[in-house]
Amino acid sequence: MFLLGTLVNGLLIVVGALLGKLLHRIPESMKTTVMFSIGLAVVVLGLQMGFKSENFLIVIISLVIGSVLGEWLDLDGKLNALGTWLERKVGSSQQGSIAEGFVTATLIFVIGAMAIIGALDSGIRGDHDVLYTKSIIDGFTALFLTTTLGIGVIFSAIPVMLYQGAIAAFATQIDRLVSDALMTSFIAEMTATGGIMILAIGLNITGITKIRVANMLPGILVVALIVTIMSLVETILR
């Protein structure tokens, strides 16, 4: 079931928000320790994915070119600007904590490499590990956000499921357009490239780094392009 990871993600956001509504006061020390634990787990997941590459040169080239494109397009800056604009609009509209919690949580849960990579993994391989990990992170984040922004956080589960579900559904059709050999190669290199991005997310969560992971996202498209070109060249040479 290609939507299983997405459904679990939405469910844990709802559960986290409901728990956050019940638990008004959470010690800062507990929040810090929990976030460190989650960050370290994400780092390990990223490492495991990174080692699945069959040609790490593809991963390196894809990350470099993808990062250059992302920095040139300033994806991270544009996403942050969108978040600032939305929060300003919500704040000035006097709609209360429901709107503010919904917008803020949606931006956190939807914008990021894990949402895209996890949904692709679910659709292409039927592997939900990335989305399961994201679900745990989002659940705890929803809990903490709800204690400060209110129950509006719970409604962010809707755009999360629609967004990730659409990507996963699209990914299930990819194997009809490409050969098994090309798909196998793409999955391996996409998984490894995405793993490096997830590793960066884990380091960011722990506070060790402040990597603009959003600017690395074009690397996924570069992987697809490089793998396709290499496959075509091999076919011609034969």
171, 123 in Cβ contact below 8 A?
yes
Does residue 216 lie within any of the structural domains?
no
70-80 mean pLDDT: 86
* pLDDT, greater one: 201 or 122: 122
Q: Which residue has the tokens 């989002």?
A: 138
Residues whose CB falls within 8 Å of the CB of residue 193, separated by 6 or more in sequence, listed in order: 53, 58, 59, 62, 63, 66, 219, 220, 223
Q: For the chain, how big is the Rg over CA atoms in Å?
A: 19
Domain-embedded: residue 86: yes
- With b for 16 or more beta-carbon neighbours within 10 A and e for fewer, the 19-53 pattern comes to bbeeeeeeeeeeeeeebeebbeebbebbeebbeeb
Q: What is the pLDDT of residues 131-182, one digit of tens each?
A: 999 999 899 889 987 887 778 888 889 989 998 999 899 888 876 777 778 8
pTM over 0.85: no
Helix (H, G, I), strand (E, B) or coil at 55: coil
Cα–Cα distance, 95 to 89 (Å, whole number): 10
Whether the CB-CB separation of 189 and 198 falls below 8 Å is answered with no
Question: Which residue from 217, 230, 130, 128 is spatially nearest to 186, judged by alpha carbons?
Answer: 230
Q: Are 197 and 42 in contact (CB under 8 A)?
A: no
**Which tens digit of pLDDT belongs to each residue from 28-41?**
788 778 778 878 88
Half-sphere exposure (Cβ direction) of 75: Cα atoms closer than 13 Å = 18
* Proportion of the chain in helix, strand, coil states, percent, rounded to 5: 85, 0, 15
Domain contains 217: no
Per-residue pLDDT, 177? 76
Of 214 and 53, the structure prediction assigns the larger pLDDT to 53
Predicted local confidence at residue 75, as pLDDT? 85
Domain membership of residue 81 (yes or no) is: yes
Higher pLDDT, 86 or 114: 114
Alpha-carbon span 75 to 71, nearest angstrom: 7
Let me know if residue 223 belongs to a domain.
no
Find the distance separating the first CA and the last CA of the chain, reported in whole Å: 38
Selection from 70, 3, 1, 51 nearest residue 191 by Cα:
51
Asked, for residue 121, whether it belongs to a domain, the answer is: yes
d(CA 95, CA 90) in angstroms, rounded, equals 7
Residue 135 counted as domain residue: yes
Per-residue pLDDT of 100-140, as tens digits, reads 677 667 767 876 668 888 898 898 888 899 999 999 989 98
The mean pLDDT value of the chain amounts to 84
Residue 154 lies in a domain: yes
Could you tell me the pLDDT band of residue 95, with boundaries at 50, 70 and 90?
very low
Domain count, the chain: 1
Does residue 209 surpass a pLDDT of 70? yes
Evaluate if residue 94 carries a pLDDT over 60: no
Containing domain of residue 127, as a range?
Answer: 4-53+74-179+193-210
